[in-house]
Amino acid sequence: MENPVLRGFVQRRQRSVEPAEPRPVVAPALSTNRPKPKLLDQVRQAIRARHYSLRTEEAYIHWIKRFIFFHDK
């Protein structure tokens, strides 16, 4: 190719198409036999991680409980 811009583009494109080196497989953390948190605790953790307000958390928990009780647990 005579155009240096196109030649650079083609070279970069060819490099990005080449297969990457395989990533090492990371073993999952060893189980500590901790029980999984209950649903409402998981919801609370997720809401707090997103920095929602306390009133929002209370409303979400309330409506989840109503849904569960409506469907007979």
The whole-model pTM stands at 0.53
Q: Where are the domains of the chain?
A: 37-73
Cα-based distances in Å from 4 to 7, 13, 19, 37, 55: 5, 14, 25, 59, 61
The per-residue pLDDT for 54 is 96
- CB–CB of 44/61 below 8 Å? yes
* Tens place of pLDDT per residue across the chain (73 aa): 577 777 776 666 565 555 667 777 776 666 678 888 999 999 999 999 999 999 999 999 999 999 999 998 8
The per-residue pLDDT for 60 is 97
The per-residue pLDDT for 12 is 65
